[in-house]
Structure 1
């Protein structure tokens, strides 16, 4: 219990509409009972799944009535400035450098302690509340899948039929898949890398083809094909899946590559794509201790690298390309532009593109703690991911809506198809 001074005996710190909500739902933080124009420090803290502590803080001034509303009032200084209703959450930063907030398990809520303190870094706590942010909505089922070469988790909303989506994560995570299932999709999440990337010599498309087939056999799936959601290394694998495997109807490609980056790709025991080489010596060190690796990959259009290029012009399904202008991991905007130009050259119009000029590489679900730098799975040092924080967070909110709209449009459900499976 936090001690409340006498002059704050009626102080109230509220989270509206409620303190328990879904992970991607906004909350309204309000304080009442302060002195007129009193300056206080708002703080948030949370521990991730690896027990890394994250903190944020912002200075606010109450109005004449002694009230603060984060939906209305600007932060004067701290982890962010200006009117940022969810700033305390997205600006959560690790106590040690180069840590990415780890949230991969759907059944464990994201717990954030939000508090109001007297002015100053060491100001006494006046009140505290707990915000529990749940990944899985009521009625959504979570079933681990270990069948054949598939190693993943299936999320199914109640009732049905549903569009089917394969969430192709770079490394295993349930977060994005579960949040999408809350919106009315059946989602199977699998990883590109089930082992440490530096220990892997080649990648195979076959397990992902099995995952597509598995989804299409599910009784509650009503779409005739599967959508594939991908980011980063998952992007080029998703494109290859759409080229080589029947049943892929829609692909969301987020800040990926147009070639098989770093690894050869095999399908049915044949090598279908050569690896696009990279040169770690081209990494640019910065004062933060993290490096920029945007230009370590070789040019996929160079003659010697064309065997690594995904023939995106052969994709029959719909494509949604998403690129960030401040992606410091690799040149996702350049890869997107080249693929769009190639598709147009082949007379294709089965694509749309979204560009966020100030966003960075790690486009996460809304209100996920912004990560400027962290360790990388392939290179042996921390890297910068890029992104101007407020623009990056706005892009994440916008992208969630665009992904849902795109998948619902191009994975329309056929009730008769679903009924025939029962």
Structure 2
């Protein structure tokens, strides 16, 4: 490796997962053409990579906040493009980084000339390693026994009181919960499904109510109501909690359905919501082997699905509904607009809606690889999750800030300003 060329990640090579890094290169020849690459491996062993060609300025320097990529997995001025444009070396792979204790390690490298192929053709003239951390200094992670299942609790540093948030995911994931804890929230992460969803006959809302009670009784959680956040199946569980269970103050719904989907929902020993009808014959296969499943779900507002529609008119919580326009999993924008209209007809003003053009289904905390396709967690077939990578990446930055501000404004605690840092 050359001693003259220097690749720097500022302000530090170690950062929180949802923080941007400033990539700079120095020591190149005047107007030298180079390829910058990023490469990482997720927790399931899948390799993700990106590459972009740049031209140095007259002083032999590159600054990704200033300079435009000429070609590669992205183009133009995109300071974090090397991260969000990473894609799997094999098709239909979702980026799995769900366990909070381990940092994601990303290798950045600089190569002479144009080298945007999947495999590097030449050695690097400079490289640096970025450690992207989910748990900041002072945040405590602990597994808690909730009776029929375990949750993972993240507690920020300090005495509190802090706002409490229940984070509901279709399958076990700690990423969003740990990152919210870094921002001064006590967050309990809970999955809807453990094991195979096909083995589940119904979901009990009581399990999530028990999780809310756990948060309410936690010594560091303030008494001014709780928040719930969920995407996909977690989103309809979040709405159901606000509709049936007291004590919920604020709900964030992300790219989910307005009805109960998958399996029936039980509460206090009886079925309260049936499952939305599905018509698998309406799934559209694509030439690359994936499928578009958006049209396989029935109309939640139709008479035949009336018993599956979540009665959000009963909710007293404030609702933040975030929908991607190009999700390809659900017709989320239509669901969002229909729910907002129902609430207005009921005389309620407790909803805020945001739609992100050209964004896909997996609207996650920012700076992870964009997931355009993958294997569906319930149907077990390759599907398209949609989204134009650049627009999706920008939407994730905006949505993540929106989530933090919403919870901070709705779940105010006088001392809840402690944030974790590295």
Task: Give the superposed CA RMSD.
Answer: 1.0
| Correspondence for 1:194 | 194
| Correspondence for 1:32 | 26
- Aligned: 1:151 with 2:150: yes
3-state SS, counterpart of residue 390 of structure 1: helix
The Cα of 1:150 is off from its aligned counterpart by: 4.1
CA distance in 2, matches of 1:123, 1:322: 43
3-state SS, counterpart of residue 408 of structure 2: helix
> Are 2:33 and 2:114, in contact at CA under 8 Å, matched by a contact in 1?
no
Of 6, 15, 24, the match for 1:21: 15
The Cα of 1:414 is off from its aligned counterpart by: 5.9
Report the CA distance shift for 1:241/1:335 in structure 2 as closer, same or farther (over 3 A).
same
- Structure 1: unaligned runs, 5 residues or longer: 416-422
| Correspondence for 1:92 | 86
CA distance in 1, matches of 2:146, 2:326: 39
After TM superposition, the structure 1 = structure 2 runs for residues 107-186 of structure 1, keeping only pairs within 5 Å, are 107-121=101-115, 122-159=121-158, 160-186=160-186
> Are 1:290 and 1:383, in contact at CA under 8 Å, matched by a contact in 2?
yes
| Correspondence for 2:413 | 413
Question: TM-score when scaled to structure 1?
Answer: 0.95
3-state SS, counterpart of residue 208 of structure 2: helix
- Structure 2: unaligned runs, 5 residues or longer: 116-120, 416-422
> Are 1:223 and 1:414, in contact at CA under 8 Å, matched by a contact in 2?
no
3-state SS, counterpart of residue 116 of structure 1: strand
> Are 1:223 and 1:412, in contact at CA under 8 Å, matched by a contact in 2?
no
Q: Deviations over 1:245-286 (max 9, x none)?
A: 111111000011010112110011100001101112211111
The Cα of 1:357 is off from its aligned counterpart by: 1.5
After TM superposition, the structure 1 = structure 2 runs for residues 9-408 of structure 1, keeping only pairs within 5 Å, are 9-121=3-115, 122-159=121-158, 160-408=160-408
3-state SS, counterpart of residue 80 of structure 1: coil
CA distance in 1, matches of 2:19, 2:357: 25
> Are 2:138 and 2:157, in contact at CA under 8 Å, matched by a contact in 1?
yes
The Cα of 1:209 is off from its aligned counterpart by: 0.3
CA distance in 1, matches of 2:349, 2:386: 31
CA distance in 2, matches of 1:136, 1:20: 12
Q: Which runs of 4+ in 1 moved over 4 A?
A: none
CA distance in 2, matches of 1:70, 1:14: 11
Question: TM-score when scaled to structure 2?
Answer: 0.95
3-state SS, counterpart of residue 294 of structure 2: coil
| Correspondence for 1:418 | none
Q: Deviations over 1:18-62 (max 9, x none)?
A: 101111110011111111111001011001000111111000000
Report the CA distance shift for 1:340/1:64 in structure 2 as closer, same or farther (over 3 A).
same
The Cα of 1:123 is off from its aligned counterpart by: 3.4
Aligned length: 409
| Correspondence for 1:420 | none
